[in-house]
């Protein structure tokens, strides 16, 4: 047999490529291992660590095995993401790592549940509660509010669960209002869902003081002693 270093490198690696190795669970037999099977092992067992990523398998029956999640009370082979409001989830994921403290920390935060190898199947949820299951203290019940997504979960498939925030919700929100015609009262519908601070300039970019009154978290008025045109910066 030739030296291994004498063989030509195969690039790119494809799923059907093989390595020779030892099967430790079958009396150390020599077997072939495909690139696809090695990648699958690494993926579903979390052998490449990604901070904040949990790996679970969906099963129909709750409280069955560590590393699994199901619907509270049991589910079907296929369950649409937009119908899910509660999950029964193991205290350990597939890696296995204990996730209790992490998921408890995520209460009132958003998570994304996405199918491995098919991100077109995903659900975006807000975690509203996380409590120990009264029937099995190795499982917890996760209460969820559906925010968006596509597709369904399917029996025995694997899913990644991660903390998730849409890019448009990251950081503080702001709004620029333009008053084109001179007026003493500016009414601003900003839809920021908060009471923002307000800075006003005239058309020469000179700061102008006015009386700001908040109608609600999405509308305010500014009253001035004299009418003028300009801009209001809300943040």
Residue 191 lies in a domain: yes
Q: Tell me: do 62 and 160 sit in the same domain.
A: yes
Taking residues 107-122, report their average pLDDT.
Answer: 90
Residue 137 lies in a domain: yes
Taking residues 111-117, report their average pLDDT.
Answer: 91
If one counts the domains in the chain, the total is 2
> In this predicted model, what pLDDT tens digit does every residue of 137-170 receive, in sequence order?
999 999 999 989 999 999 999 999 998 877 655 5
Residue 18 lies in a domain: no
Alpha carbons 168 and 192: distance in angstroms, whole number: 12
Residues of the domain holding 195: 175-234
Closest by Cα among 41, 80, 82 to 58: 80
Give the SS3 label for residue 145.
strand
Residue 159 lies in a domain: yes
Q: Tell me: do 201 and 149 sit in the same domain.
A: no
Q: Tell me: do 58 and 164 sit in the same domain.
A: yes
Question: What pLDDT sits at residue 23?
Answer: 82
Taking residues 42-71, report their average pLDDT.
Answer: 79
> In this predicted model, what pLDDT tens digit does every residue of 86-105 receive, in sequence order?
999 999 998 888 999 988 88
Give the SS3 label for residue 187.
strand
Residues 84/126, Cβ–Cβ less than 8 Å: no
Question: What pLDDT sits at residue 95?
Answer: 84
Domain final residue, candidates 122, 145, 168: 168
Is the pLDDT at 50 greater than 60? The verdict is no
Residues 223/184, Cβ–Cβ less than 8 Å: yes
Domain final residue, candidates 143, 168, 193: 168
Q: Tell me: do 114 and 73 sit in the same domain.
A: yes
Question: What pLDDT sits at residue 9?
Answer: 78
Q: What is the CATH number of the domain that holds 94?
A: 2.40.30
Q: Tell me: do 160 and 104 sit in the same domain.
A: yes
Does this model's pTM top 0.85? My answer is no
Name the band, by pLDDT with cuts 50, 70 and 90, for residue 40: low
Summary mean pLDDT of the chain = 86
Taking residues 207-224, report their average pLDDT.
Answer: 91
């Amino acid at each position: 047999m030739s030296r291994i270093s004498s063989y030509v490198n195969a690039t790119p690696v494809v799923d059907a490529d093989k390595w020779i190795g030892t099967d430790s669970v079958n009396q150390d037999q020599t077997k072939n291992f495909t690139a696809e099977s090695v990648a699958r092992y690494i993926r579903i067992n979390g052998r490449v660590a990604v901070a904040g990523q949990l790996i679970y398998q969906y099963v129909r029956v709750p409280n069955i095995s560590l590393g699994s999640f199901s619907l509270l009370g049991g589910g079907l082979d296929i369950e649409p993401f937009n119908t899910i409001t509660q999950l029964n989830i193991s205290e350990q994921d597939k890696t296995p790592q204990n996730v209790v403290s992490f998921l408890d920390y995520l209460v009132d935060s958003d998570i994304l549940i996405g199918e491995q190898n098919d991100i077109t199947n995903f659900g975006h949820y807000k975690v509203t509660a996380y409590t120990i299951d009264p029937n099995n203290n190795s499982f917890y019940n996760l209460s969820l509010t559906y925010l968006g997504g596509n597709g369904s979960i399917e029996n025995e498939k694997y899913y990644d669960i991660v903390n998730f925030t849409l890019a448009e919700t990251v950081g503080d929100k702001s709004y620029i209002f333009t008053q084109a015609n001179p007026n003493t009262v500016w009414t601003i519908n900003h839809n920021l869902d908060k009471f923002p601070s307000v800075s006003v300039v005239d058309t020469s970019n000179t700061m102008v003081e006015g009386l700001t009154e908040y109608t609600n978290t999405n509308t305010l008025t500014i009253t001035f002693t004299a009418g003028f045109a300009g801009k209001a910066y809300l943040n």
